[in-house]
């Protein structure tokens, strides 16, 4: 949960790559510039974004937030995107966005779990093109209290 301050050059490159990936995603391509900024800039400034590349080009992106219980409920059960101050306000990791428009979803999701969240339980949400929650996924691991959590998926 440490804050990393990327250089302005890195910020612009990653923002451009994220925007390009969103433009290729059926679930993101109609987002406004303000929505794109709200989804990318807070996690970028907090070091809570990962971009996967193949041949030097971006192929997938994930952003995550560390949420308190109230914000986590709003993100998982409502059409709530965390406000900038909410991206790092708790101890519950939630994948906010996962974009893999070129078929790299399985491998990058596995890499995210193994390298960013090893041993840690986390949640993610699947939304439709209008941002409505379709399904919530609980990924296995240990919760913030060290208790084992099993994998499961459930409708919102």
Q: Residue 1 above 60 pLDDT?
A: no
Q: Which residues are paired to 95 by β-bridges? A: 64, 124
pLDDT of residue 9: 85
pLDDT at 69 > cutoff 70? yes
Residue 144, in any domain of the structure: no
Cβ within 8 Å of residue 20, ≥6 positions away: 58
Does the residue 89 lie in any domain?
A: yes
Report yes or no on 79 lying in a domain. yes
For residues 108 and 47, what is the distance between their CA atoms, to the nearest angstrom? 17
Q: How confident is the model at residue 107 (pLDDT cuts 50, 70, 90)?
A: very high
Q: Is residue 80 part of a domain?
A: yes
Residues in the chain: 156
Could you tell me which residues are beta bridge partners of residue 122? 139
Q: Is 51 helix (H, G, I), strand (E, B) or coil?
A: strand
**What residues make up the domain containing 94?**
8-114
In a domain, 3, yes or no: no
Name the 3-class secondary structure at 29. coil
pLDDT score of 119 more than 90? yes
Residue 84 lies in a domain: yes
Domains contained in the chain, number: 1
State residue 10's pLDDT score.
83
Encode burial over 129-153: b for 16+ CB neighbours within 10 A, e otherwise: eeeebeebbbbebeeeeeeeeeeee
Mean pLDDT of 43-62: 95
Pair of tokens at residue 50: 């990962």
The predicted-structure confidence for 20-41, as pLDDT tens digits, reads as follows 999 999 888 888 889 888 999 9
Whether residue 69 is contained in a domain is answered as: yes
Residue range 103-132: mean pLDDT, rounded: 90
Read off the tokens for 70: 């109230």
Q: What is the mean pLDDT of the chain?
A: 90
Give residue 91's pLDDT.
95
Which of 77-81, 84-88, 105-109, 116-120 bottoms out in mean pLDDT, i.e. has the lowest? 77-81
> Span 101-112, mean pLDDT?
93
pLDDT at 131: 74
Taking residue 6's Cβ as centre, other Cβ atoms within 10 Å add up to: 15
CA dist 91 to 6, 33, 122, Å? 23, 29, 10
The verdict on residue 62 lying in a domain is yes
Q: Provide the token pair at 111.
A: 């890499």
């Amino acid at each position: 949960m440490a804050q990393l301050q990327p250089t302005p050059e890195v910020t612009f490159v990653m923002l451009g790559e994220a925007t390009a990936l969103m433009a290729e995603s059926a679930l993101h391509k109609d987002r406004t510039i303000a929505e794109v900024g709200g989804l990318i800039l807070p996690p970028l400034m907090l070091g809570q974004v990962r971009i996967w590349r193949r041949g030097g080009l971006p192929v997938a992106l994930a952003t995550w937030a560390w949420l308190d219980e109230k914000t986590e409920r709003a993100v998982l059960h409502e059409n709530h995107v965390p406000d900038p101050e909410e991206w790092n306000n708790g101890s519950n990791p939630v994948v906010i966005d996962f974009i893999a428009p070129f078929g790299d979803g399985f491998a990058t999701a596995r890499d995210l779990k193994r390298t960013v969240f090893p041993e840690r339980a986390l949640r993610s949400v699947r939304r439709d093109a209008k941002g409505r929650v379709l399904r919530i996924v609980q990924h296995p691991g240990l919760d913030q209290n060290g208790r084992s959590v099993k994998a499961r998926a459930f409708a919102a």
